[in-house]
Amino acid sequence: MQICLLASGSKGNAIYVETAESRLLIDAGLSAREIGNRLNAIGKSPEQLDALLVTHEHGDHCRGLGPVSRRWKLPVHIHHATREALPHAGKLTQTIAFDSGDTFCLRDLIVHTVPVTHDAAAPTGFILETSSGKIGIATDLGLATRLVIDRFQGCRVLVLESNHDEDLLRDGPYPWHLKQRIRSRHGHLSNRESAELLRSLAWPGLEAVLLAHLSEANNTPQLAEDCARKALNDIKAFSTQLFVGCQDRPSICFGC
């Protein structure tokens, strides 16, 4: 399995996942051209993509959805309520609807959908299960619910939101209503909340954690990494590798 955060942040998000038989995009928050460029930068070809999965309808996750789908003729797996809420996506090559909590097969993958709390129509986390293990993708969630904690156990790789530092958000430039939205149960996980979730999900088989969706205004990579690293050290998960995604370039392409 391989996974790479092609882009991660408030300006655009896309994740690349490769298994023995599948090459997927999770979200398309960049232009088709930029997604193609970033795939090429990690030695991957967009023409070999098999499908696109969508977490929710916000622009930083769906801005390039229509062009990406049409350019590379990708089927789009999307919650039916998210499809209805999409603004100006245009014609999609093929849509395959799922409902919250559904499980479906995709080539050599079993895809588990997990409802999460966020201010969107039907925000969804994904667990991608193969014969080699599981990859969990949990971003854009304001609260780590018991369901999230239960369903994301036993992953070899986790993509976890670590959006903001609570002090930087409190003292930062955002208007009060936006600060309240981010801090709410339908907003985004702080570094501290992400670390608490990580403590609940870490196990001896957890090989890597990729921290995602960092705020450029209310966080720093060092603060997010330090918080997650402390959580791993506290539970003696010293062998788990930790990476931080960013907005302007792909992360390391982690293989396991």
| Alpha helix positions (H), the chain | 32-41, 59-62, 65-71, 80-85, 146-151, 166-171, 176-183, 191-201, 221-234
Please write the tens of the pLDDT for every residue from 46-100. 999 999 999 999 999 999 999 999 999 999 999 999 999 997 777 888 999 999 9
pLDDT digit string, tens, across residues 199-242: 999 999 999 999 999 999 999 999 999 999 999 999 999 999 99
Average pLDDT, the chain: 96
Angle at 138 between CA 116 and CA 108, to 5 degrees: 110
Judge whether residue 6 has pLDDT over 90: yes
Which is nearest to 61 in space by CA: 116, 104, 21? Answer: 116
Say what percent of the chain tops pLDDT 90: 97
Q: What pLDDT sits at residue 88?
A: 75
Q: Is residue 124's pLDDT more than 80? A: yes
CATH value at residue 12:
3.60.15.10
Q: Which amino acid is at 11?
A: K
Q: Which domain holds residue 246?
A: 2-255
In this prediction, residue 80 carries a pLDDT of: 95
Predicted pLDDT of residue 256: 77
As for how many domains the chain has, the answer is: 1
For residues 105-119, give the mean pLDDT: 97
**HSE toward the beta carbon, residue 232, CA cutoff 13 A:** 20
If you average pLDDT over residues 136-140, what whole number do you get?
A: 97
Q: Is the pLDDT of residue 41 over 80?
A: yes
Residue that has been written with the tokens 């997927």 in this structure: 24
The separation between the first and the last C-alpha atoms of the chain, rounded to the nearest angstrom, is 5
Residues 186-197 pLDDT 10s:
999 999 999 999
